[in-house]
Amino acid sequence: QESPPLYTKEEVYSHRSPETGIWVTLGSEVFDVTEFVELHPGGPSKLMLAAGGPLEPFWALYAIHNQPHVYELLAQYKIGELKPEDSAPPTLETSDPYAHDPMRHPALKVNSQRPFNAEPPPELLTENYITPNPIFFTRNHLPVPNLDPDTYRLHIVGPPGGQSLSLSLCDLYMFPKHEVTVTLQCAGNRRSEMTQVKEVRGLEWRTGAISTARWAGARLCDVLAQAGHQLSEKEAHVCFEGLDSDPTGTAYGASIPLARAMDPEAEVLLAYEMNGQPLPRDHGFPVRVVVPGVVGARHVKWLGRVSVEPEESYSHWQRRDYKGFSPSVDWDTVDFDSAPSIQELPIQSAITEPRDGETIESGEVIVKGYAWSGGGRAVIRVDVSLDGGLTWHAADLDAEKQPPRKAWAWRLWQLQASVPAGQKELNIVCKAVDDSYNVQPDTVAPIWNLRGVLSNAWHRVHVHVTS
């Protein structure tokens, strides 16, 4: 019996385009699926996410593949096996502060490896209303701390005359468990479109710095009340500190107004579960803050300390970042103290399918995307244009019902439209409206700002049409 040809991981990885052929692996087996890509029932673009590497992380997300007929189909494309030494787990350098960061899903588009910042590709982002944990966008400023759930303690500083608390995870489980579906969006989502107007400082997020999960935990108001805090008359802020810190020992920190923290209807959580699982390490294990309707930066992960202060957090990320400015303000003239820190975010929407630059067939087009607004404001409509904004169609919104003033999660939307015969290209545009009738600005230039935050202009995608 002949032994099958052996390949290295590098050889497999060099086969990920139509020119080289498209290879994938499952276990130690190697497959050339070039001919199958166009036939894939889940669409070519999804299969291509796994091109040049292992199928397991993708098939774990889409368990529909876990059936005999799928394995039989794949077997027809087998061309050989991986060399045995290529199955060994990768080695890590120990001096590297990021060496103990967790493993990540290969579908994530990485904007920075250290610290880890990554977003799901658009065609996976709107595949599910609830974003699967492995592809939820990740925004880290520092290495991921490695916390032991048995010795973990959350410090809640009490008021004068009150009582400070040092809560174990078990203590936290004793508070009533509250669950809420919340969309988290980074202030820098869609920054790459601002960069096209003029350079900005920041990571090049595309449309994926946004994701949705079902979070569960104790309500912050219940925990603060136990420590003796009350909603006092004077202005106050709840400050959060993470257990991730830089080499000088400075921790990530942020704050929210006490009024929001103490309002049971605002549903601010000390979350220990994400989609029914303990929080993944990248998303704050074992406890993070979830502040529905508010910018991601305030959802402090790896939470270590909570205190009530007369002033906002003195953290760099509260005072020297995550603020909006006029387009004419530059790094020489910026006065960070002159602008409020971002809390609630403005109305946002984006197209996830088709992709910019894609070629589609004439006849019919399906446009998909998401829409969300901050502060619990509900998305009431998404308008989609195929002709650059001359004429508009109302998209179909998913049927997820949300209580009034507490629309904490996004709406996914879709539009099915016919493409007029002879049309060579489409300029697809989307814009959403919330229940305060806030709308998105039509272009990016007038909202450009030096840090590239709050990028929420009409989203535009250009596609070619073949007849």
Residues in contact with ligand HEM by CB under 6 A are 24, 33, 36, 40-42, 46-47, 49-50, 55, 58, 62, 64-65, 67, 70, 73-74
Interface with ligand MTE (CB under 6 A), residue from 242, 286, 346, 354 = 242
Q: How many CB atoms lie within 10 A of CB 248?
A: 5
Q: Is 342 in the site for ligand MTE (CB under 6 A)?
A: no
Element at 219 (helix H, strand E): strand 210-219
Question: Residue 243 CB, nearest distance to ligand HEM (Å)?
Answer: 33
Q: Is 220 in the site for ligand MTE (CB under 6 A)?
A: no
Using the CB atoms, write b or e for 5-28: b if 16+ within 10 Å: eebebebbeebbeeeeebbbbbee
Question: Residue 253 CB, nearest distance to ligand MTE (Å)?
Answer: 8
DSSP secondary structure of 411-465: EEEEEEEEEPTT--EEEEEEEEEETT--B--S-SGGG--TT-----S-EEEEEEE
70 contact, one of ligand MTE, ligand HEM, none, CB 5-8 Å limit per kind: ligand HEM
Query: What 3-state DSSP class applies to 321?
Result: coil
Nearer to ligand HEM, 49 or 157 (CB): 49
Question: Residue 365 CB, nearest distance to ligand HEM (Å)?
Answer: 18
42 contact, one of ligand HEM, ligand MTE, none, CB 5-8 Å limit per kind: ligand HEM
Question: Residue 102 CB, nearest distance to ligand MTE (Å)?
Answer: 12
Q: Alpha helices of 227-354 — where are they, by DSSP H?
A: 258-262, 316-319
Question: Residue 23 CB, nearest distance to ligand HEM (Å)?
Answer: 9
Please measure the distance between the N-terminal and C-terminal CA atoms of the chain and give it in whole angstroms.
50
Nearer to ligand MTE, 303 or 367 (CB): 303
Q: Is 369 in the site for ligand MTE (CB under 6 A)?
A: no
Chain mean position to CA 196: 22
Q: Is 244 in the site for ligand MTE (CB under 6 A)?
A: yes
The single-letter DSSP state of residue 196 is H
Q: Is 138 in the site for ligand MTE (CB under 6 A)?
A: yes
Q: Which range touches ligand MTE (CB under 6 A), out of 42-50, 297-305, 440-448, 456-464?
A: 297-305
Distances (CA, A) of 403 to 366, 379, 396: 29, 12, 19
Query: In this structure, what are the phi and psi dihedrals at residue 305, rounded to the nearest 5 degrees?
Result: -150, 140
Interface with ligand MTE (CB under 6 A), residue from 15, 46, 219, 301 = 301
Closest of 302, 270, 294 to residue 173, by C-alpha: 270
Mark residues 158-197: x for contact with ligand MTE by CB under 6 A, - for none: --------------------------x-x-----------
Exposed/middle/buried for residue 291 (C-beta within 10 Å: 0-12, 13-18, 19+):
buried
Q: Is 297 in the site for ligand MTE (CB under 6 A)?
A: yes
Mark residues 87-126: x for contact with ligand MTE by CB under 6 A, - for none: ----------------------------------------
Q: Binding residues for ligand MTE, how many (CB under 6 A)?
A: 20
- Cα separation, 337 vs 324, in Å, equals 11
65 contact, one of ligand MTE, ligand HEM, none, CB 5-8 Å limit per kind: ligand HEM
47 contact, one of ligand MTE, ligand HEM, none, CB 5-8 Å limit per kind: ligand HEM
457 contact, one of ligand HEM, ligand MTE, none, CB 5-8 Å limit per kind: none
- Cα separation, 254 vs 133, in Å, equals 24
Nearer to ligand MTE, 142 or 269 (CB): 142
Nearer to ligand HEM, 36 or 392 (CB): 36
Nearer to ligand HEM, 62 or 98 (CB): 62
**Which are the catalytic amino acids?**
40, 65, 139, 186, 322
Element at 345 (helix H, strand E): none
- Looking at the DSSP bridge assignments, the partners of residue 430 are 384, 459
Closest of 129, 132, 120 to residue 45, by C-alpha: 120
Question: Residue 97 CB, nearest distance to ligand MTE (Å)?
Answer: 14
- Cα separation, 182 vs 212, in Å, equals 6
Tell me the pairing of strands 78-82 and 6-7: parallel
* In contact, 131 and 120? CB cutoff 8 Å: yes
Q: Write out the residues near ligand MTE by the rule CB under 6 A.
A: 136-142, 184, 186, 242, 244, 252, 282-283, 296-297, 299-302
